[in-house]
Amino acid sequence: MVNSGSVKPKSRESAVLVLEDGRVARGRSYGALGATFGEAVFNTGMTGYQETLTDPSYHRQVVIMTAPHIGNTGVNDEDAESARIWVSGYVVRDPARVSSNWRAKRELEDDLLDQGIVGICDVDTRALTRHLRERGAMRVGIFAGEHAGLSIDALLAQVRSSPAMKGADLTGEVSTASPYLVPAIGTCQFKVVAVDLGIKTMTPHRLAQRGIEVQVVPSTVTASEILAKNPDGVFFSNGPGDPATADGAVAVMSELLFARVPIFGICFGNQILGRALGLGTYKLRYGHRGINSPVQDLRTGRVSVTAHNHGFAVDAPRRGAFQTPFGLAEVSHVCLNDDVVEGLRLLEVPAFSVQYHPEAAAGPHDGAGLFDEFVDLMKAGR
């Protein structure tokens, strides 16, 4: 039921977007015809739609782009963050008719059609964004083509019977089926096991750029399997779903912390670390999805402009160290917009994580230094 779109339209047909609270937006079809469901979220990035669409963290989400023109630079063969589009639906205001970029290989809409992604265009995306800001993220359905002709009540019933994001365990749906290797660029300095909870292509690439050989492993991996590889460090990736369901990954994390293997986590990985430390996670009203958020490093006071994509966050004391089963830990980064925890650091065990995306695809590269910190941690661990 998640993604039943497959019919290619000859031209734009009518489409309707129905939110679980009954709000309706009418527009025209964009991409495939059919019906699709997911959690409605908005992304405020003005660039990077190709990266966004292919980011596994958006699995089961219907993404509303606040930038009005989408598709201007087409789709190329380099910028995808995984092998497929993951969003369950796409909402834009003004899709491009022709693309213009020297790297473009195809039009964006061709990819949406080929992959059966149902979308809607010509809707007031700003109104929807404001609605979600005030009411919080919620379930949504997009009905394009003949489905759009059904009564709103019937459509609303379908939306309300679709699964919610809270309590969703989605890791298994996005993780790689079998391990694969991303070789180091240049001389191999370190070996890292990366636990794929929905990993983006750019993350192993950023590690590889620093002379790290990355073995990406499925989310079902056990701590002993990881330790058997005798890695210099372990990386926990980003990914979709509710971290409260990720007991398996949390257990693996705990064991690795006991083993004092250097650990770096991003996004979902940050939430896993938080849970391993005994902290709670909670769902944000409408989440952080964009590439312009100020995050302060509490040690230096410096502010980075960062890429975000998270609907959940870790609940931890903002200032000062706190006790955990692994010794003292502290919140290392906060988002200055809303004081949400954006990073954790253990003071007695070599482990840290950030909620935002230093691999930055899409987004600014201000956080790139965190990969160097991971390298330093591994150096110190030798």
Partner 1 sequence: MPRRADIKSILVIGSGPIVIGQGCEFDYSGTQACRVLKDEGLRVVLVNSNPATIMTDPEFSDATYIEPITPEFVERIIARERPDALLPTLGGQTALNIAIALHKNGVLDRYGVEMIGADVNAIERGENRELFRGIVAAIGAESALSVICHSMLDCQSAAEQLGFPVVIRPSFTMGGAGSGIAYDETDLLRIAGAGLQASPTTEVLLEESIIGWKEYELELMRDRNDNVVVICSIENLDPMGVHTGDSITVAPALTLTDREYQHMRDVGIEIIRAVGVDTGGCNIQFAVNPEDGRMIVIEMNPRVSRSSALASKATGFPIAKIAARLAIGYTLDEIPNDITKETPASFEPSLDYVVVKVPRFAFEKFPNADPVLTTTMKSVGEAMAIGRNFGEALQKALRSLEKPEAIFSWPGDSAEIDVPDLLARMHRPHDGRLSLVQQALWAGATIEQVHESTRIDPWFLDQICQLNETADEIRSAPALDEPLLRRVKRVGFSDRQIGQLRGISEDEAREIRHGLGVRPVFKTVDTCAAEFAAQTPYHYSTYDEENEAAASDRTKVIILGSGPNRIGQGIEFDYSCVHAALTLRDAGYETIMINCNPETVSTDYDTSDRLYFEPLTFEDVIEIVYAEQRSGTLLGVIVQLGGQTPLGLAQRLKNAGVPIIGTSPESIHLAEDRGAFGRVLAQAGLPAPKHGTAMSFPEAQAIAADVGYPVLVRPSYVLGGRGMEIVYDDNMLADFLGRATQINPEHPVLVDRFLDDAIEIDVDAIFDGEELFLAGVMEHIEEAGIHSGDSACALPPITLGASDIERIRESTLRIAQGVGVLGLLNVQYALVSDVLYVLEANPRASRTVPFVSKATAVPIAKAAARVMVGQKISQLRLEGLLPTRGDGGTMPPGAACSVKEAVLPFGRFHGVDTLLGPEMRSTGEVMGIDDSFGLAFAKSQEAAFAGGLPTSGTAFVSLANRDKRAAIFPIMRLADLGFQIAATAGTADILGRHGISARVLRKHHEGRGPAGEPTTIDLIMAGEIALIVNTPYGVGPRVDGYEIRTAAVIKSVPCITTVQGLAAAVQGIALLRNAEATVRSLQEHARDLLKLRQSASGSVSPAELD
| Residues involved in catalysis | 267, 357, 359
The pattern of x and - marking residues 77 through 116 that bind partner 1 according to CB under 8 A reads: -xx-------------xx-xxxxxxxx-------------
Separation CA 298–CA 168 (nearest Å): 32
- Near partner 1 by CB under 8 A, which window of 178-186, 233-241, 253-261, 331-339? 331-339
CB of 252 to partner 1, least distance (A): 32
46-50 long-range contacts, CB within 8 A, separation 24+: 46/291, 47/291, 47/362, 48/79, 48/291, 48/361, 48/362, 48/363, 49/108, 49/362, 50/75, 50/76, 50/79, 50/80, 50/108
Q: Which is nearer to partner 1, 293 or 309 (CB)?
A: 293
Binding partner 1 by CB under 8 A: which of 363, 367, 370, 371? 363
Least separation in angstroms between residue 149's CB and partner 1 is 16
Closest contact distance (angstroms) between CB of 42 and partner 1 is 8
Binding flag, residue 209, partner 1 (CB under 8 A): no
The half-sphere exposure of 325 on its side-chain side, counting CA atoms within 13 A, is 16
Two structure tokens written together for 343? 């990073």
Question: Which residues in 127-186 contact partner 1 (CB under 8 A)?
Answer: 127, 129-130, 133
Stretch that binds partner 1, among 146-154, 176-184, 240-248, 300-308 (CB under 8 A): 300-308
Choose, by CB under 8 A, the member of 84, 105, 126, 299 that binds partner 1: 126
Q: Is residue 29 close enough to count as binding partner 1 by CB under 8 A?
A: no
Q: Is 155 left (phi over 0), alpha (psi -120 to 50) or beta?
A: alpha
Q: Where are the alpha helices (DSSP H) in 223-279?
A: 223-228, 247-258, 268-276
Q: Which of 3, 36, 61, 73 touches partner 1 by CB under 8 A?
A: 73
Query: Site map for partner 1, 259-288, x if CB under 8 A?
Result: ------------------------------
Residue 207 contacts residue 194 (beta carbons within 8 Å) = yes
**Beta carbon of residue 231, minimum distance to partner 1 (angstroms, whole number):** 30
Give CA 320 to chain center in angstroms.
28
Q: How many CB atoms lie within 10 A of CB 312?
A: 21
- For residues 5 and 29, the answer to whether their CB atoms sit within 8 Å is no
Minimum distance from CB of 98 to partner 1 (Å)? 5
- What is the Cα–Cα distance from 279 to 293, expressed in whole angstroms? 24
By CB under 8 A, name the one of 3, 29, 36, 50 that touches partner 1: 50
SS3 string, 127-160, reads: HHHHHHHHHCCEEEEEEEHHHHHCCHHHHHHHHH
Q: Which residues form the interface with partner 1 (CB under 8 A)? A: 25, 42, 44-48, 50-51, 66-69, 72-73, 76, 78-79, 93-94, 96-103, 122-127, 129-130, 133, 290-294, 296, 301-303, 305, 336-338, 360-365
